[in-house]
């Protein structure tokens, strides 16, 4: 029971009086020293083996069945569909092998969509990382209204993409929307068809809206990471005479590494799946300037009933996501796994 | 590694936490005007579009056309009353609520049940079952969306609450299990030993001790599931028609049907975003902790 008491003190220690740094470190050290290994479950052993199995089955089965039925089966179905020409009714008879894949990969609209997805992946990280870091460092300083600021910055993230999209669609109305009007007032003429209606601006406009929507997530995660940087490091660097900026650059940002790398991974997977915002803002247009892989496959599947093509496109989407995820894991996340000392320090 | 160490060590974004970090940053406490100015710019850019929508709902279309960047003058209420007296709005809100509640209930109940043996039993194949869920994190829902649409339609659940809630819950399970397992693992062994010594069965331990203690973890995954369902668009778009639609579908429809009625669209979107915002403000700490747990887990 001492353990429980300690846990409670640890929680209270952090939430109520985080200012007292030394007890916190002691508790933290103790907490990470305690093995988080799974509890030895079957120690009662004899004769109850069957009972234990039944218990396991009883507990795991509902989740596992739901998952298999509504996630695994549809994914296998998508792979199956991708090998047929099928219009949505009748049996699957028209087996075409890899023809759907060939036709998807030769389709300029799909290749364009893939490029848009990749641009969005890179742009999201390249824009949100520095902005998010800057805002997180800014909000991590002592200032009035800090709590409210943190709440506000997170608001766009909580809104549905559709709702945010509809509001931005109104703001971006050509000529009469507030954005065009304000730009007009400072002497910039927006494009005739509006920013979303002009092929050369549309994708970047979508990226701006996405930045607005998702920057808050980066900021909140970075802030959380910042709070776990041990205070001793700040004190030490102050004693050594480091400036604020030096401290951030040499201590804070490197220690945020694991948080940043995981955030970037999530951001990448999200960008590859992007659908809602594009569907609301442009529907993939104008002239396919903003299609994504997801809008492509929804278009083929539900509007044109080309289920085989949609199946092939979704398999390609998955393979792209998987390959990028594996590469990322291999070359970037590996550092975190390889260097547990640093990881621990950053998390402590 | 552990979401629990996260919940324990990372101070939440509450006033207390702000208080804490204030002291933590020590000497580097730049309350200088430049910092405030920058913060103000960030706030303006973040809240601007939302506030513009809220205020736009209090204006007439004529006002909006005449001076798009102006304030309501005079303030009019009929856009908002129009939406609030629109039965479709309430129908959509009701559908959204029911679907989100079913999804949340399924996710929390099935999630904690699955996480329990995966966290605290020792058995062959445990890690493999856990890996099934972890791999589930990698599958974008979009990949399965077309077959899912066919499957649900074949099951005659096409235009129903359950038809949307079941797949949504299935796709929310991986992150739920991944967050809950380390949470349950971190509960001290001594508790379990004491309970078993006192003659409780493992199910008794689950029911009487583990469930009450994992309240915070369940709230976190529940909130994430609820917000995810509330904001979902793609699956409802494919499955729900007419008066079974959810709020995001309603908003999108309204905005394309009455695209010339800008003020009406603003009022509709504003009212549609209120539930999520209120829910968020009430549960802010949980959402943030959950996201951190998911990131660090």
What is chain A's Cα-based Rg?
A: 26
Report pLDDT digits (tens) over B227-275: 889 999 999 998 998 889 999 999 999 988 888 888 999 999 999 988 8
pTM confidence score: 0.80
Which residues, 6+ apart, have CB-to-CB distance to A311 below 8 Å? A78, A79, A80, A81, A82, A83, A84, A100, B146, B147
Report chain B residues whose CB lies below 8 A from the CB of A322. Answer: 138
Residue of A nearest to B259 (CA): A170
**Separation CA A245–CA A248 (nearest Å):** 5
Number of helices followed by number of strands (H, E) in chain B = 16, 0
**Separation CA B174–CA B165 (nearest Å):** 15
Q: At what angle do helices B87-120 and B126-136 cross, to 10 degrees?
A: 150
Report chain A residues whose CB lies below 8 A from the CB of B117. Answer: 41, 55-56, 59-60
Report chain A residues whose CB lies below 8 A from the CB of B288. Answer: 154, 220, 224
Residue of B nearest to A9 (CA): B8
Report pLDDT digits (tens) over A67-99: 999 999 998 888 888 888 888 777 777 888 888
- Measured between CB atoms, does B212 come within 8 Å of chain A? no
**Separation CA A114–CA A291 (nearest Å):** 8
CB contact under 8 A, A39 and B171: no
pLDDT for A32 beyond 70 = no
Averaged pLDDT for residues B102-124: 92
> Best of A37, A74, A211 to disrupt the B interface by mutation (most B CBs within 10 Å)?
A74
pLDDT at position A181, please?
A: 85
pLDDT at position B290, please?
A: 67
> Best of A7, A31, A38, A274 to disrupt the B interface by mutation (most B CBs within 10 Å)?
A38
Which residues, 6+ apart, have CB-to-CB distance to B265 below 8 Å? A166, A170, B254, B255, B258, B259
Least confident of A12-26, A99-113, B33-47: A12-26
Report chain A residues whose CB lies below 8 A from the CB of B32. Answer: none
CB contact under 8 A, A153 and B116: no
Q: At what angle do helices B161-185 and A49-67 cross, to 10 degrees?
A: 130
Window B:18-37, CB contacts with A under 8 Å: 18-31, 35-36
pLDDT at position A63, please?
A: 94
Residue of B nearest to A257 (CA): B296
What separation in angstroms does the CA of B297 have from each of A240, A347, B1, B181?
35, 11, 5, 10
ipTM of the complex: 0.81
Residue of B nearest to A314 (CA): B143
CB contact under 8 A, A163 and B272: yes
- Quick check: bond before B177 cis, omega within 30? no
* Selection from B83, B86, B62 nearest residue B74 by Cα: B62
Which residues, 6+ apart, have CB-to-CB distance to B60 below 8 Å? B76, B263
pLDDT for B115 beyond 50 = yes
Number of neighbours of residue A179 by Cβ within 10 angstroms: 21
| B292: confidence class by pLDDT, cuts 50, 70, 90 | low
**Separation CA B253–CA B245 (nearest Å):** 10
DSSP state of A190: P
pLDDT for A297 beyond 80 = yes
- Measured between CB atoms, does B215 come within 8 Å of chain A? no
Report pLDDT digits (tens) over A169-195: 999 988 888 888 888 888 888 788 889
**Separation CA A200–CA B250 (nearest Å):** 30
Least confident of A8-17, A160-169, A335-344, B258-267: A8-17
Nearest-by-Cβ selection for A275 from B46, B65, B142: B142
Tokens linked to A245: 């900026």
What separation in angstroms does the CA of B258 have from each of A159, A173, B28, B61, B262?
22, 14, 52, 12, 8
CB contact under 8 A, B202 and A60: no
**Separation CA B52–CA B270 (nearest Å):** 10
pLDDT at position A5, please?
A: 37
pLDDT at position A22, please?
A: 37
Averaged pLDDT for residues A204-225: 91
pLDDT at position B169, please?
A: 94
| A40 and A51 Cβ atoms separated by less than 8 Å | no
CB contact under 8 A, A78 and B35: no
pLDDT at position A338, please?
A: 54
SS3 B34: helix
- Quick check: bond before B74 cis, omega within 30? yes
Which residues, 6+ apart, have CB-to-CB distance to B37 below 8 Å? none
pLDDT at position B14, please?
A: 40
Report pLDDT digits (tens) over A264-288: 988 998 899 899 999 999 988 799 9
| B165 and B106 Cβ atoms separated by less than 8 Å | yes
pLDDT at position B294, please?
A: 59
Nearest-by-Cβ selection for B13 from A59, A147, A301: A147
Number of neighbours of residue B85 by Cβ within 10 angstroms: 10
**Separation CA A312–CA A74 (nearest Å):** 13
pLDDT at position A17, please?
A: 37
| A8: confidence class by pLDDT, cuts 50, 70, 90 | very low
Report chain B residues whose CB lies below 8 A from the CB of A292. Answer: none
Nearest-by-Cβ selection for A71 from B49, B144, B269: B144
- Quick check: bond before B172 cis, omega within 30? no
Higher-pLDDT residue of A318 and A30 is A318
Report chain B residues whose CB lies below 8 A from the CB of A299. Answer: none
**Separation CA A40–CA A55 (nearest Å):** 15
> Best of A59, A148, A259 to disrupt the B interface by mutation (most B CBs within 10 Å)?
A59
DSSP state of B243: G
| B9: confidence class by pLDDT, cuts 50, 70, 90 | very low
Higher-pLDDT residue of B88 and A335 is B88
Report chain B residues whose CB lies below 8 A from the CB of A159. Answer: 50, 231, 273, 276-277
| B145 and B237 Cβ atoms separated by less than 8 Å | no
Nearest-by-Cβ selection for B146 from A16, A166, A311: A311
What is the nearest CA distance from B160 to chain A, expressed in angstroms? 16
Q: At what angle do helices A199-227 and B262-296 cross, to 10 degrees?
A: 40
What separation in angstroms does the CA of A187 have from each of A181, A183, B45?
10, 6, 21
Nearest-by-Cβ selection for B234 from A38, A150, A275: A275
Report pLDDT digits (tens) over A217-268: 899 888 888 877 777 887 888 788 888 788 888 888 888 888 888 889 889 9
| A35: confidence class by pLDDT, cuts 50, 70, 90 | very low
Which residues, 6+ apart, have CB-to-CB distance to B7 below 8 Å? B183, B216, B217, B220, B289, B293
**Separation CA A102–CA A111 (nearest Å):** 12
> Best of A170, A218, A281, A346 to disrupt the B interface by mutation (most B CBs within 10 Å)?
A170
Nearest-by-Cβ selection for A138 from B35, B231, B265: B35
Task: Tell me what the pLDDT averaged over chain A comes to.
Answer: 80
pLDDT for A344 beyond 50 = no
pLDDT at position B291, please?
A: 67
pLDDT at position A236, please?
A: 83
| A42: confidence class by pLDDT, cuts 50, 70, 90 | very low
pLDDT for A24 beyond 50 = no
> Which segments of chain A does DSSP mark as H helices, in order?
2-16, 21-33, 49-67, 73-81, 99-105, 108-139, 146-158, 161-171, 178-185, 199-227, 231-239, 244-247, 253-255, 257-273, 276-281, 293-298, 307-328, 334-338, 340-347
Tokens linked to A194: 């509006």
Which region, left, alpha or beta, applies to residue A230 given φ > 0 means left and ψ of -120 to 50 means alpha? beta
pLDDT at position A34, please?
A: 40
Supply the DSSP string of B56-98, one letter for each residue.
HTTS-HHHHHH-TT---SS---HHHHHHHT-HHHHHHHHHHHH
What separation in angstroms does the CA of B212 have from each of A37, A259, A306, B3, B114?
21, 31, 50, 18, 16
Tokens linked to B233: 């668009």
Averaged pLDDT for residues A302-325: 89
Which phi and psi (to 5°) does residue A241 adopt?
85, 25
Nearest-by-Cβ selection for A314 from B28, B146, B273: B146
| B290 and B111 Cβ atoms separated by less than 8 Å | no
What is chain B's Cα-based Rg?
A: 23
Tokens linked to A120: 């969005």
pLDDT for A321 beyond 50 = yes
| B16 and A16 Cβ atoms separated by less than 8 Å | yes
Residue of A nearest to B231 (CA): A160
CB contact under 8 A, A71 and B139: yes
**Separation CA B244–CA B270 (nearest Å):** 21
pLDDT for A119 beyond 50 = yes
Tokens linked to B145: 């969306």
Residue of B nearest to A215 (CA): B46
């Amino acid at each position: 029971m001492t353990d429980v008491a300690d846990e409670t003190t640890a929680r209270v220690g952090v939430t109520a009086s985080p200012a007292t740094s030394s007890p916190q470190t002691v508790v933290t050290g103790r907490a990470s020293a305690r093995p988080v290994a799974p509890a030895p479950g079957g120690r009662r052993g004899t004769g109850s083996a069957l009972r234990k199995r039944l218990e396991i089955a009883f507990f795991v089965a509902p989740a596992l069945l739901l998952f298999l039925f509504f996630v695994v089966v549809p994914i296998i179905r998508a792979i199956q569909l991708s090998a047929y020409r099928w219009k949505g009714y009748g049996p699957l008879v028209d087996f075409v092998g890899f023809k759907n894949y060939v036709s998807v990969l030769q389709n300029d609209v799909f290749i364009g969509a893939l490029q848009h997805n990749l641009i969005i992946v890179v742009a999201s990280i390249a824009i949100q990382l520095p902005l998010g870091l800057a805002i997180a460092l800014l909000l991590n300083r002592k200032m009035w209204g800090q709590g409210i600021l943190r709440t506000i910055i997170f608001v766009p993230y909580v809104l549905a993409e559709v709702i945010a999209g509809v509001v931005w669609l109104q703001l971006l109305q050509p000529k009469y929307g507030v954005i065009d009007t304000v730009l007009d007032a400072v002497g910039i003429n927006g494009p005739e068809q509006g920013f979303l209606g002009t092929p050369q601006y549309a994708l970047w406009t979508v990226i701006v809206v996405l930045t607005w929507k998702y920057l808050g997530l980066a900021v909140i995660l970075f802030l959380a990471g910042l709070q776990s940087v041990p205070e001793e490091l700040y004190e030490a660097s102050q004693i050594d005479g480091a400036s604020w900026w030096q401290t951030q650059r040499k201590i804070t940002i490197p220690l945020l590494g694991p948080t940043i790398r995981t955030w970037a991974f999530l951001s990448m997977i999200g960008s590859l799946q992007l659908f809602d915002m594009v569907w609301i803002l442009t529907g993939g247009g104008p002239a396919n300037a903003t299609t994504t892989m997801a809008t492509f496959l929804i278009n083929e599947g539900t509007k044109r009933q080309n289920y085989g093509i949609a199946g092939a496109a979704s398999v390609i989407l998955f393979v792209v996501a998987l390959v990028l995820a594996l590469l990322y894991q291999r070359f970037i996340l590996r550092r975190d796994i390889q260097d547990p000392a640093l990881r621990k320090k950053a998390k402590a | 590694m552990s979401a629990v160490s996260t919940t324990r060590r990372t101070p939440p974004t509450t006033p207390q936490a702000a208080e804490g970090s204030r002291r933590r940053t020590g000497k580097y406490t730049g309350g200088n005007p430049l910092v405030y100015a920058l913060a103000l710019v960030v706030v303006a850019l973040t809240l601007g579009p939302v506030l513009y929508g809220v205020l736009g709902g209090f204006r007439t279309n004529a006002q909006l056309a005449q001076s798009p960047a102006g304030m309501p003058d005079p303030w009019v209420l009929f856009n908002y009353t129009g939406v609030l007296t629109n039965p479709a709005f309430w129908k959509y809100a009701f559908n959204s609520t029911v679907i989100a509640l079913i999804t949340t209930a399924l996710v929390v109940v099935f999630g904690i049940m699955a996480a329990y043996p995966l966290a605290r039993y020792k058995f062959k194949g445990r890690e493999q079952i856990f890996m099934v869920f972890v791999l589930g994190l990698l599958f974008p829902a979009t990949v399965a969306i077309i077959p899912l649409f066919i499957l649900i339609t074949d099951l005659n659940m096409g235009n129903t609450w359950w038809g949307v809630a079941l797949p949504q819950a299935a796709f929310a399970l991986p992150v739920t299990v991944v967050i809950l397992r380390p949470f349950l693992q971190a509960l001290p062994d001594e508790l379990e030993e004491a309970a078993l010594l006192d003659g409780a069965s493992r199910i008794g331990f689950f029911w009487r001790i583990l469930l009450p203690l994992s309240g915070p973890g369940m709230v976190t995954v529940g909130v994430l599931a609820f917000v995810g369902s509330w904001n979902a668009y793609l699956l409802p778009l494919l499955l729900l028609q007419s008066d079974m639609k959810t709020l995001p579908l309603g908003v999108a429809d309204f905005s394309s049907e009455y695209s010339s009625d800008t003020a009406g669209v603003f009022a509709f979107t504003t009212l549609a975003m209120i539930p999520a915002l209120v829910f968020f403000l009430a549960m802010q700490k949980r959402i943030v902790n959950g996201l951190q747990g998911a990131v660090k887990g």
